Copies of this chain bind each other. A is one copy, B any other.
Amino acid sequence: MPAARRTRRSPVPVEHDADVRNAFRGKRCLITGGLGFIGSSLALELVNLGAQVTVIDNLLPNHGGNLFNIAPARDRIEVNLGDILSESVMAYLVRDRDYIFHLAGQVSHVLSMSNPFPDIDINVRGTAVLMEAVKHHNPQAYVIHTGTRGQYGAATKLPVNEDAPMAPKGIYELTNLTAERIIQIYSQNFSISSVLLRLTNIYGPRAQMLHSHFGVVNWFVRQILDGRPIQLFGDGSILRDFVYVDDAVEACLVAAVRSEGRGEVYNVGNDKPTSFRQLAETMIRAAKRGEYVFTEFTPERKAQEPGNFYSDITKARTRLRWEPKTELHDGLVRTLDYYRQHREHYWTVETRSAGGRAT
């Protein structure tokens, strides 16, 4: 089985320094959106580190929540299907937590531009429900929030650092920014510790593979595995920074352990940018198959396309001692292997393993 051999040859997962390795043992952690792509990856790693992990997730269709994501540790993760908009549920769930990782969100730019209300509910009101719960029931908790590089909009200067102007291009990006600022305001006014991460394009195992509304790298992976050509918009020269999910999880962990924690903001990106064409070529090498074609931007894509974008991660590198460690090729090898093995849980809407997934 070539896939299995490739897995053994692939680099070891991101290794933690001793302080991170020991920080979470016995710690009580809550992860909102914990059945989603990054949330579930974080849940598995926290369990590995000896934490007690509860996830809350509403399995919103097309958002990536999937019980199979946590299958390797299903018996060690407490799963609470529910909505972060429920004030009484959140008032209960936040109690006695050491760390609250807030990853629940509406994450589709496209959807947000046809209907702004899910974003306003989940990203804005949901974050306020969480912070009200923390304020009243557990102000000692440490809140880690993951926003998006989309909060910046188009780059006015490259690489983009945390002080760049904020000009979100859509309701999804705007509501992420509003969520971040709600947490900052609660931190500043009610002495709640928090750290705010702005994530670039994350890829890897456990992301949804049903549609192309978000997660462009994973969508390319699906094209390769389906034997279809990767479609590159324009000439494929636009630069972006890509981060493997294990590195994003590591950023969440080190931010929880090493940040001073009063609303500090950190880019979680990659200052070695890659063009979409390089991405496709690297993926084809990693998969040992596949091809790419060029296609015109649709007007919708063009409007949302912010042009070249990559993050300045100097602040994370110096203050959190974090940087991405996984080379694009290696991350893609692992991603391809994962979906080759588990295609049936991601290629079509999964109902059985999710034990009653909403439709």
Using a CB–CB cutoff of 8 Å, the interface residues on chain A facing chain B are: 113, 116-117, 120, 124-125, 128, 131-132, 165-166, 168-171, 174-175, 178, 181-182, 185, 188-189, 303
Complex: how many Å from CA A166 to CA B113?
24
> Does B189 contact A168, Cβ atoms closer than 8 Å?
no
Beta-carbon contact of A125 and B117 below 8 Å? yes
CB distance from A116 to the nearest CB of B (A): 5
- Is the pair B166, A185 in contact by a Cβ cutoff of 8 Å? no
Give every chain B residue within 8 A of A188 (Cβ-Cβ). Answer: 169
Q: Which of B116, B128, B169, B175 contacts A116 (CB 8 A)?
A: B128
Q: A125: which of B113, B120, B168, B170 is its contact (CB, 8 Å)?
A: B120
Secondary structure of the A contact surface, majority rule: helix
A300 and chain B: residue at smallest CB distance: B189
Please measure, in the bound complex, the distance between the C-alpha atom of A192 and the C-alpha atom of B138, giving whole angstroms.
44
Asked whether B125 lies within 8 Å of A178 as measured between CB atoms, the reply is: no
Instruction: Given contact pairs A116-B128, A116-B131, A120-B120, enumerate 4 new A-B contacts (beta carbons under 8 Å).
Output: A124-B124, A128-B171, A174-B181, A174-B182
Smallest Cβ distance from A112 to chain B, in angstroms?
Answer: 9
> Is B128 within 8 A of A120, CB to CB?
yes
- The distance from the CB of A233 to the nearest CB of chain B, in whole angstroms, is 18
A185–B182 Cα gap in the complex (Å)? 20
Q: How long is the Cα–Cα vector from A233 to B182 in the complex, in angstroms?
A: 28
A55 CB, nearest partner CB in chain B, Å: 25
User: Cβ of A181: which chain B residues have Cβ within 8 Å of it?
Assistant: 168, 174
* Bound Cα distance from A271 to B128, whole angstroms: 36
Chosen A-B contacts, 11 in total, with CB atoms closer than 8 Å, are A113-B189, A116-B128, A120-B125, A128-B171, A168-B181, A169-B185, A170-B189, A174-B178, A174-B182, A175-B178, A189-B303
Which residue of B is nearest A163, CB measured? B165
From residue A134, how far is it (CB to closest CB) to chain B in Å? 12
Instruction: Point out the residues of chain B lying under 8 angstroms from A116, CB to CB.
Output: 128, 131-132, 182
- A136 to chain B minimum Cβ distance, whole angstroms, is 11
Q: In the A-B complex, list the 3 residue pairs whose CB atoms are closest, starting with the nearest.
A: A116-B128, A178-B178, A174-B181
**A171 — nearest CB in chain B belongs to which residue?**
B185
Give CA–CA (A113, B170) in the complex, Å. 27
Taken together as a complex, chains A and B put the C-alpha atoms of A182 and B172 apart, in Å, by 10
Distance, CA A125 to CA B189, complexed state (A): 24
Contacts of A166 in B (CB 8 A): 166
Question: Nearest Cβ distance between residue A117 and chain B, in whole angstroms?
Answer: 7
Cα separation A341 to B131 with both chains bound (whole Å) = 46
Task: Enumerate chain B residues within 8 angstroms of A117, measured Cβ to Cβ.
Answer: 125, 128
Chain B residues closer than 8 Å to A132, beta-carbon distance: 116
Q: How far is the CB of A237 from chain B (nearest CB, A)?
A: 24
CA distance A120 to B165 in the complex (A): 23
**Chain B residues whose CB sits within 8 angstroms of the CB of A168 once the complex forms:** 181, 185
A169 to B131, CA, bound (A): 16
Q: How long is the Cα–Cα vector from A182 to B116 in the complex, in angstroms?
A: 9
How far, in whole Å, are A257 and B132 apart by their CA atoms in the complex? 42
CA–CA, A132 and B116, complex, Å? 8
Q: Which residue, A124, A125, A132, A169, has most C-beta atoms of chain B within 10 A?
A: A124
